[in-house]
């Protein structure tokens, strides 16, 4: 439960920071905001849950293998679970929930159809006297 709260706080803080900064950014500043702060490449960013600093996944993996702190503010990353990291992507990369739900249902029905049909006789024999 606390992980969900932490993720929500992180996402809200990052979203709020984005809204505040993009309202007063020039085109050059907006492009620079999308760059990784370490390698300066235009990649999808990993957002750290504690301090909300962002970097590309390659730089995060490289840095995390050498150090247990944020490269920008030196915040402790020892307790950061990889599942808590947020990947900040372009709007074009996000799939709508309707498509995801439809795909999940399709997979569920395929799984159900592949299950063997086994009907235990014991359950029905108990109620046979009531049906007749």
**Residue 42 sits in a domain of what CATH number?**
3.30.40.10
Total-model pTM: 0.43
Question: Does residue 59 form part of some domain?
Answer: yes
Task: Please state, for a pLDDT cut of 70, what percent of the chain lies above it.
Answer: 51
Say what the pLDDT of residue 26 is. 60
Question: Does residue 127 form part of some domain?
Answer: no
Nearest-angstrom CA–CA distance, 85 and 50: 10
Question: Does residue 65 form part of some domain?
Answer: yes
pLDDT at 110 over 80: yes
Question: Does residue 35 form part of some domain?
Answer: yes
Domain count for the chain, please give it.
1
Question: Does residue 108 form part of some domain?
Answer: no
Under DSSP, is residue 126 helix (H, G, I), strand (E, B) or coil?
helix
pLDDT of 75-98, one tens digit each?
887 766 666 666 665 655 556 677
Helix, strand, coil percentages for the chain (3-state, nearest 5): 55, 10, 35
Say what the pLDDT of residue 93 is. 59
Residue 71's domain comprises 2-93
């Amino acid at each position: 439960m606390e992980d969900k709260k932490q993720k929500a706080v992180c996402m809200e803080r990052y979203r709020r920071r984005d809204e505040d900064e993009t309202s007063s950014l020039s085109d050059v500043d907006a492009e620079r905001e999308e760059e990784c702060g370490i390698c300066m490449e235009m990649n999808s960013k990993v957002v750290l849950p504690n301090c909300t600093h962002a970097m590309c996944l390659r730089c995060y993996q490289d840095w995390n293998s050498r150090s247990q702190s944020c490269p920008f503010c030196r915040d402790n990353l020892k307790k950061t679970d990889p599942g808590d990291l947020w990947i900040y992507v372009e709007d074009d990369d996000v799939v709508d929930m309707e498509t995801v739900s439809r795909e999940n249902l399709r997979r569920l029905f395929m799984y159900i159809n592949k299950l063997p049909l086994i009907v235990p006789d014991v359950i029905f024999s108990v109620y046979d006297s009531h049906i007749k």
